[in-house]
């Protein structure tokens, strides 16, 4: 044990307390990071008899956690619930629902008890003069145009149907955007990675040549409603593939792989705050199975010899350092925290990790508004396309099915409007400042104003000043000397980033990488990608230990078989250096 090598021994973490067996096939795993990736790997490994310790400096659940608004609960009620950002579980997610189905709550499980389908999707067009369009879940996707069999034209028509609600975009442009989706659907993997991943979404749908509304709604807003991505830099492959996956997910029985019992549909969500519904029962379950959680402790150094990690350094929140020795090490921390650990020594042993330094993150942050009147709208995420700060939102009371006033706060709050702000670099409409230049108070007023202007249209009145009781911005955003900092930026899948993304296995034989930045089937910085990465790490450790345990399931995204001949044709053209046959 090499604690002295790194300094203080004031803190004795668990894995070190059970030193490595020294065997090449030992079963001691140290996981650094207790977010989605770390918890998923811990889940798979503990169920297969490994000894697992998770080191977490801040909060279990990471970016997927919820947080109480401390001190707001009165009269026996709980504190008002805040979220790092509201949670959206598209119908194409498979890993996350599978994990949820294996977390017990009472005599049920998280998936059965807490994951529910959305009724609709609400599209507000900022700047348009008509009311937001509430699209029932039953009308989204391909099923409207293809009841039993799927044809190529159905895909194009499904997108034209979606775009039809964006009345300001000329029909010819809507049709062109739909054609680009068909191109993506029929492109071979080689072209998707070799060509489309290097093109920005903006260029892919030729937004520069189209109308201003096409640029605003189909390029800029579409990417930032999904993640913190900007259309000018986001990978066309990532955004296009995700749009296809969402359309397929909304296609009900046509895609049994996504149907998942009664929960088919484009959008699913939790019927409680995320921690209450999912993270807390998960941590309880993992603890009951033997996972050890060492809190307030993060990875601060990796010591390499040859192609092996010989020791790791951890640092506690009070600054004390000590070492952890295990058989296998997994980093499950965000990419901005991983970068400084990739020292020249580490990169010499694992040159494949060099690209991590090229990966980019951006800001996406949650703010909640607590209201004294229930909205009474259907369970539906709201995308306010075209809002300067790229806002998406949801009213929580309906999906939670709770009397919020009776459960949380001081009884006054009956509704929670949870909003994600995805663009922090564009001036707002009230102060002419970007979100990064505003104070927290100014941000709360600005977002409220953008929601009011964008959603209260055509006689519709969703946002009412006299209903606002208070607001809560993610405390991870802080200000020092007038400059804003975000403790939890989110990876963005920029054009050309795929080759830089790490795989779960590295050239260092006992080091594995998890997190939403790891290459995954969904290829988008999400809980689903992070969960898949945790499973890939677990499987790699099973391989390295010659385990005969069943491997953790890894699910591909569904793509229709009827595309295969077209993809084969495209593969031939790709090999000959020719463009996609529909790429005009
Ligand atoms: C506002 C917002 C809304 C979102 N909404 C959705 C959504 O609706 N659906 C969806 O699928 N995804 C959503 N995402 C993305 C999703 O939350 C993340 O992609 C996912 O949670 C990432 O999981 P992770 O385990 O890779 O990383 P994280 O969640 O960041 O977890 C990493 C953990 O590592 C810890 N850590 C940091 N440094 C160290 C260290 N040195 N040593 C050890 N541990 C360390 C951190 O404290 C953290 O707990 C959203 C993200 C944001 C920001």
Cα(572) to centroid(ligand 1), Å: 39
pLDDT tops 80 at residue 480: yes
Position 164 scores a pLDDT of 74
Report the b/e string of 269-286 with b at 16+ CB within 10 A. Answer: bbbbbbbbbbbbbbbebb
Position 119 scores a pLDDT of 85
Give the position, in ligand 1's atom list, of the atom nearest the Cα of 298. 42
Cα gap 551→193, rounded to integer Å: 27
DSSP assignment letter at 275:
I
Cα gap 96→524, rounded to integer Å: 14
Domain boundaries, given as residue ranges, for the chain: 3-63+273-359+495-544, 69-119+362-486
By the 10 Å C-beta count (0-12 exposed, 13-18 middle, 19+ buried), 323 is classed as: buried
Cα(34) to centroid(ligand 1), Å: 9
Cα gap 468→123, rounded to integer Å: 23
Scan for tokens 């020795």, then name that residue. Answer: 325
Which of the listed residues 229, 527, 533, 537 should we mutate to test ligand 1's pocket, taking the one with most ligand atoms within 8 A of CB?
527
Cα(293) to centroid(ligand 1), Å: 17
State the number of CA atoms in the 13 A half-sphere of 34 facing the CB: 25
Cα gap 352→153, rounded to integer Å: 41
Average pLDDT of span 95-124: 94
User: Which residues pair with residue 240 across a beta bridge?
Assistant: none
DSSP string over 403-434:
-HHHHBTTS---EEEEEEE---SS--SSSS--
Position 372 scores a pLDDT of 97
Percent of the chain whose predicted confidence (pLDDT) is above 70: 92
pLDDT tops 80 at residue 14: no
Give the position, in ligand 1's atom list, of the atom nearest the Cα of 83. 1
Cα gap 502→520, rounded to integer Å: 10
pLDDT tops 80 at residue 142: no
Average pLDDT of span 392-418: 95
Give the position, in ligand 1's atom list, of the atom nearest the Cα of 333. 34
pLDDT band for position 141 (50/70/90)? low
Cα gap 532→529, rounded to integer Å: 5
Cα gap 271→105, rounded to integer Å: 14
Q: Tokens at residue 388, please?
A: 């300067």
Give the position, in ligand 1's atom list, of the atom nearest the Cα of 491. 19
Average pLDDT of span 302-307: 96
In terms of DSSP H, where are the helices of 109-196? 110-114, 152-163, 171-185, 189-194
Q: pTM to 2 decimals?
A: 0.94
Cα gap 122→377, rounded to integer Å: 10
pLDDT tops 90 at residue 145: no
Q: Whose alpha carbon is nearest atom 47 of ligand 1?
A: 58
Q: Are 90 and 115 in contact (CB under 8 A)?
A: no
Cα(475) to centroid(ligand 1), Å: 15
- Which residues have any ligand 1 atom within 6 Å of their CB? 32-38, 55-59, 62-64, 84-85, 87-88, 298-299, 332-334, 337, 364-366, 420, 490, 515-516, 525-528, 530
Q: Whose alpha carbon is nearest atom 3 of ligand 1?
A: 85
Average pLDDT of span 356-373: 96
pLDDT tops 60 at residue 146: no
Cα(109) to centroid(ligand 1), Å: 23
Mean pLDDT, the chain, whole residue set: 90
Q: How far is CA 108 from the centre of its chain?
A: 26
Position 251 scores a pLDDT of 72
Position 149 scores a pLDDT of 63
Q: Whose alpha carbon is nearest atom 53 of ligand 1?
A: 364
Of the candidates 291, 275, 267, 338, the one whose C-alpha atom is nearest the C-alpha of residue 118 is 267
Q: Whose alpha carbon is nearest atom 42 of ligand 1?
A: 298
Fold (CATH) for 69-119+362-486 = D-Amino Acid Oxidase; Chain A, domain 2 (3.30.9)
Q: Which of 59-68, 191-200, 261-270, 360-369 has the lowest mean pLDDT?
A: 261-270
Cα(38) to centroid(ligand 1), Å: 10
Average pLDDT of span 11-40: 70
**Dihedral sign computed on CA atoms, order 47, 331, 486, 13:** positive
Cα(103) to centroid(ligand 1), Å: 20
Of the candidates 397, 391, 395, 435, the one whose C-alpha atom is nearest the C-alpha of residue 418 is 395
Q: How far is CA 185 from the centre of its chain?
A: 23
Q: Are 236 and 247 in contact (CB under 8 A)?
A: no
pLDDT tops 50 at residue 82: yes
Q: Hey, how many other C-beta atoms are within 10 angstroms of the C-beta on 136? A: 12
Fold (CATH) for 3-63+273-359+495-544 = FAD/NAD(P)-binding domain (3.50.50)
């Amino acid at each position: 044990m090499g604690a002295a090598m790194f300094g203080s021994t004031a803190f004795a973490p668990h894995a070190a307390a059970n030193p490595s067996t020294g065997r090449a096939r030992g079963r001691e795993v140290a996981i650094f990071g207790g977010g989605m990736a770390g918890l998923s790997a811990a889940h798979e490994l503990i169920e297969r008899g490994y000894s697992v310790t998770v080191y977490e400096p801040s909060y279990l659940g990471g970016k997927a956690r919820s947080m109480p608004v401390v001190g707001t609960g009165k009269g026996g009620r709980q504190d008002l619930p805040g979220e790092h950002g509201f949670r959206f579980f598209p119908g194409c997610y498979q890993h996350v629902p599978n994990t949820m189905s294996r977390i017990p709550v009472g005599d049920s499980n998280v998936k059965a008890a807490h994951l529910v389908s959305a009724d609709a999707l609400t599209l507000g067009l900022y700047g348009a003069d008509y009311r937001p369009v509430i699209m029932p879940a039953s009308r989204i996707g391909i099923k409207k145009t293809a009841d039993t069999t799927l044809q190529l034209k159905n895909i194009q028509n499904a997108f034209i149907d979606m775009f039809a609600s964006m009345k300001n975009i000329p029909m010819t442009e809507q049709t062109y955007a739909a054609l680009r989706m068909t191109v993506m659907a029929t492109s071979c993997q080689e072209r998707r990675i070799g060509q489309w991943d290097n093109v920005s979404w903006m260029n892919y749908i030729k937004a520069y040549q189209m109308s201003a509304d096409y640029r605003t709604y189909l390029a800029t807003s579409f990417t930032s409603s999904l993640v913190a991505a900007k259309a000018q830099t986001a990978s066309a492959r990532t955004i296009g593939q995700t749009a296809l996956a969402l359309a397929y997910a909304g296609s009900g029985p046509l895609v049994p792989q996504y149907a998942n019992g009664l929960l088919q549909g484009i959008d699913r969500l939790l019927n409680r705050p995320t921690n209450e519904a999912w993270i807390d029962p998960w941590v309880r379950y993992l603890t009951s199975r033997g996972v050890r959680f060492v809190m307030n402790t993060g990875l601060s150094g990796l010591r390499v010899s040859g192609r092996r990690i010989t020791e790791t350094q951890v640092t506690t929140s009070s600054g004390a350092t000590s070492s952890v020795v295990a058989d296998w090490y997994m980093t499950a921390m965000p990419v901005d925290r991983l970068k400084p650990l990739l020292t020249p020594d580490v990169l010499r042993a694992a040159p494949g990790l060099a690209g991590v330094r090229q990966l980019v993150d951006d800001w996406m942050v949650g703010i909640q508004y607590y209201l004294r009147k229930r909205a009474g709208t259907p369970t539906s995420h709201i995308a306010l396309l075209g809002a300067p700060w790229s806002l998406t939102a949801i009213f929580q009371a309906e999906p939670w099915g709770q009397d919020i006033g009776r459960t949380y706060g001081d009884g006054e709050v009956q509704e929670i409007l949870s909003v994600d702000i995805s663009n922090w670099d564009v001036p707002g409409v009230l102060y002419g400042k970007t979100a990064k230049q505003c104070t927290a108070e100014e941000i709360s007023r600005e977002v409220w104003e953008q929601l009011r202007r964008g959603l209260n249209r055509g006689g519709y009145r969703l946002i009412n000043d006299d209903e606002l009781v208070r607001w809560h911005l993610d405390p991870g955003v802080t200000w020092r000397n007038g400059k804003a900092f975000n403790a939890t930026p989110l990876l963005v899948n920029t054009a050309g980033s795929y080759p830089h993304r790490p795989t779960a296995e590295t050239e260092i034989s006992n080091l594995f990488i998890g997190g939403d930045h790891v290459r995954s089937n969904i290829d988008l910085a999400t809980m689903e990608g992070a969960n898949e990465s945790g499973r890939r790490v677990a499987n790699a450790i099973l391989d390295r230990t010659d385990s005969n345990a069943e491997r953790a399931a890894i699910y591909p995204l569904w793509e229709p078989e009827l595309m295969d001949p077209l993809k084969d044709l495209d593969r031939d053209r790709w090999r000959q250096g020719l463009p996609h046959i529909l790429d005009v």
